[in-house]
Amino acid sequence: MKLLDSIQFLKGVGPKSAERYHQLGIFTISDLLEYFPFRYDDFAAKPVFELIDGEKTTIIGTVVTPANVSYYGPRRNRLTFKIKQDEVVIAISFFNQPYLQSKVELDKEIAIYGKWDAKKLSLTGMKILAQVENSFQPVYHVMKNVKQSALVSLLQSVFDAGVGELIPENLPPSLLEKYRLVSRKTAVHDMHFPADEAAHHQALRRMKFEELFYFQFKMQVLRLKDKCMARGLTIDFDKEALVEKIKTLPFPLTAAQKQSLREIITDMASPYHMNRLLQGDVGSGKTVVASLAMYTAVKAGFQAALMVPTEILAQQHYDSLQALFPELSVGLLTGGMKIAERRDILAGLESGEIQMITGTHALIQESVNYHALGLVITDEQHRFGVNQRRIFREKGQNPDVLMMTATPIPRTLAITAFGDMDVSIIDELPAGRKPITTRWVKHEQLLPSVLPWVSDEITKGAQVYFISPLIEESEVMDLKNATDLFHDLQAFFGDNVKIALLHGKLKNSEKDQIMMDFKARKYDVLVSTTVIEVGVNVPNATLMVIMDADRFGLSQLHQLRGRVGRGEKKSTTILVANPKSDSGKHRMKIMTETQNGFVLAEEDLKMRGSGEIFGTRQSGIPEFSVADIVNDYPILEVARTEAITICKEKDGSQKAAYEMILANLSNEESFD
């Protein structure tokens, strides 16, 4: 028997059952061995005084009352009896398993697995155990036609036949030694049949390390490949021109901005291809950094393009690029432009007359040709699909690529999801920024204190956002909420206050119009669902009221509140919420305590898991089978460091390790 033999070679597996195993992804013996349980039931008995309320456990005791079955409905019945452990009497009940009565014998010892209730000193039984049973049992994800027990005995037979001994090691000895990892064959065995908790822990630690290490290694190899494809452009930067330009800015760059800019232009000047993510909290000043990078590209004779998700953002960037670079020819391209205007822009891009451009998806339409596109930048990169980003890149001859995001991605996620990119982080806000105060109030305070505050702000000439509650996955309800709120506010404030309503059902052009009107101070209050755009700048808005704020995640609340605090005046966000859950209360509290988007993102990740933050697979975050990027973050970091070291030293001290890993990798189909 060999690892790569089909499972059909196993006793007890015929063509039919093989088919069923195939559906679980098990084709070979090796697949079977790597089909790990998703949990273990620990049937080890514990003394009562060690038990925690609600815990599932096994209790051993002597039966002191006969078992009695009482019926209280059709097919609903309860079996009850008492057992004694030392001097403690414990009440046992089983629901709808009357046939267990015969297994309960007075004065005999019995082992029962069930759920412990510490207050009542009682156990709701799930099963009665034969005491010899192995106390630590694997539980697998199976389907209808595959039984747990069949899978367990199949695995047992494979190990009994000695096949487990054939499992080759796939980590270099240096790593096994350094991190005291058990061998692969021990780990695989102990993932299924650990002798005890400690053995299982070691097996799991090893498998997690392996999974994360291989993942990071792949990323590093891809990254090196990318870098070594020296086909990237060399954008020599004109240092003096850049320095002069920076002097003309109305403010000094922050240290973090300077550092990011340095990283970007160094990449651009190198013959390698740049693939970099620029992250920074809302208002941290990414746009200036991006603009200066664009300037550098233009000074070196290339064109630079900046793609954003909405027309209003495009317009905003266009205005600021023009202000910053009056000596350059800056273009704007959006879907809503007149045909003649568009024709001129396209001609300018093709001839090279336009040096720098910003726009929406319109920038990547088929009809758009560039003369010498050297730098492509995507703002709010997660708003674009992988394909759109690829098309953008292909508009030039392997241009340098910069992506920006205002969703602070915790480092944990950044190095997994974007492990093949380099990451620059702007982790400080410009000096003198007035911090946004965040307050949390209960609904009861809306009328007596929040609305008067709003009135006050408006009287002072400022503007106010109201965010209506979020109903997950119900645009209809979101709209209703926003509309109700809009009417309530109109009724409260009367005609003196001008209120606009913004929601997802509006056309993009209508949304943009409302935002522009709000920016032009045609309205005092903007009631909105969460559609208001990240990045839209209305410096005169100083107050935001978020209704039912506990329905939003931390990152989202943080994004929302980034809409205020953009001007000279002191700004406030009011969270209106009566959270019922502890997690809701915790979220409200932490929002009032920190302004740091990275801290919040980490917190969000802990509370909700990575899936929630970015939604789906298209975010690029891989799924792991044994590892969990949040909880196993320390392992991930170590795995990354080791992968980098081995890749760096691949022609030197780590040659053997590198080649061993690479050989294992090329056996995997998914890697090419």
* Interaction site with Mg ion (CB under 5 A): 287, 535
**Rounded to the nearest whole angstrom, what is the least distance from the CB of residue 291 to ligand ADP in the complex?**
8
If the CB atoms of residues 288 and 346 are measured against Mg ion, the closer one turns out to be 288
**Rounded to the nearest whole angstrom, what is the least distance from the CB of residue 280 to ligand ADP in the complex?**
5
Give the one entry of Mg ion, ligand ADP, none that residue 565 binds, where binding means its C-beta sits below a cut-off of 5 to 8 angstroms depending on kind.
none
Using CA of residue 155, residue 158, residue 161, residue 167, what is the dihedral sign? negative
CA 443 to chain centre: 31
If the CB atoms of residues 277 and 288 are measured against ligand ADP, the closer one turns out to be 288
If the CB atoms of residues 285 and 309 are measured against ligand ADP, the closer one turns out to be 285
If the CB atoms of residues 415 and 426 are measured against Mg ion, the closer one turns out to be 426
Q: What does the longest C-alpha to C-alpha distance in the chain come to?
A: 97
What's the one-letter identity of residue 664?
A: N
Measured CA distances, 97 to 58, 78, 100, 112, 124 (Å): 18, 7, 6, 13, 12
Give the one entry of Mg ion, ligand ADP, none that residue 122 binds, where binding means its C-beta sits below a cut-off of 5 to 8 angstroms depending on kind.
none
If the CB atoms of residues 247 and 580 are measured against ligand ADP, the closer one turns out to be 247
DSSP letters, 360-408, are: SGGGGSTT---SSEEEEEESSGGGS-HHHHHHHHHTSSS-EEEEEESS-
CA 508 to chain centre: 27
**Rounded to the nearest whole angstrom, what is the least distance from the CB of residue 443 to ligand ADP in the complex?**
31
**Rounded to the nearest whole angstrom, what is the least distance from the CB of residue 441 to Mg ion in the complex?**
30
If the CB atoms of residues 268 and 288 are measured against ligand ADP, the closer one turns out to be 288
If the CB atoms of residues 26 and 314 are measured against ligand ADP, the closer one turns out to be 314
Nearest to 516 by CA among 531, 535, 544, 538: 538
Give the one entry of ligand ADP, Mg ion, none that residue 253 binds, where binding means its C-beta sits below a cut-off of 5 to 8 angstroms depending on kind.
ligand ADP
**Rounded to the nearest whole angstrom, what is the least distance from the CB of residue 558 to ligand ADP in the complex?**
12
Give the one entry of ligand ADP, Mg ion, none that residue 288 binds, where binding means its C-beta sits below a cut-off of 5 to 8 angstroms depending on kind.
ligand ADP
State whether residue 193 is helix, strand or coil: coil
Give the one entry of ligand ADP, Mg ion, none that residue 579 binds, where binding means its C-beta sits below a cut-off of 5 to 8 angstroms depending on kind.
none
Say if CB 379 and CB 404 are below 8 A apart.
Answer: yes
Q: At which residue do the structure tokens 């209730």 appear?
A: 117
Give the one entry of Mg ion, ligand ADP, none that residue 567 binds, where binding means its C-beta sits below a cut-off of 5 to 8 angstroms depending on kind.
none
Helix/strand number for the chain, H first, E second: 22, 21
573 vs 282: CA distance, rounded Å: 15
Measured CA distances, 100 to 63, 134, 564 (Å): 14, 21, 65
Closest residue to ligand ADP, judged by C-beta, is: 285
**Rounded to the nearest whole angstrom, what is the least distance from the CB of residue 251 to Mg ion in the complex?**
16
**Rounded to the nearest whole angstrom, what is the least distance from the CB of residue 323 to ligand ADP in the complex?**
10
If the CB atoms of residues 148 and 537 are measured against Mg ion, the closer one turns out to be 537
**Rounded to the nearest whole angstrom, what is the least distance from the CB of residue 418 to ligand ADP in the complex?**
18
If the CB atoms of residues 262 and 589 are measured against ligand ADP, the closer one turns out to be 262
**Rounded to the nearest whole angstrom, what is the least distance from the CB of residue 406 to Mg ion in the complex?**
6
Give the one entry of Mg ion, ligand ADP, none that residue 282 binds, where binding means its C-beta sits below a cut-off of 5 to 8 angstroms depending on kind.
ligand ADP
Site residues, ligand ADP (CB under 6 A) = 251, 253-254, 257, 280, 282-288, 406, 430, 535
505 vs 476: CA distance, rounded Å: 9
Give the one entry of ligand ADP, Mg ion, none that residue 99 binds, where binding means its C-beta sits below a cut-off of 5 to 8 angstroms depending on kind.
none
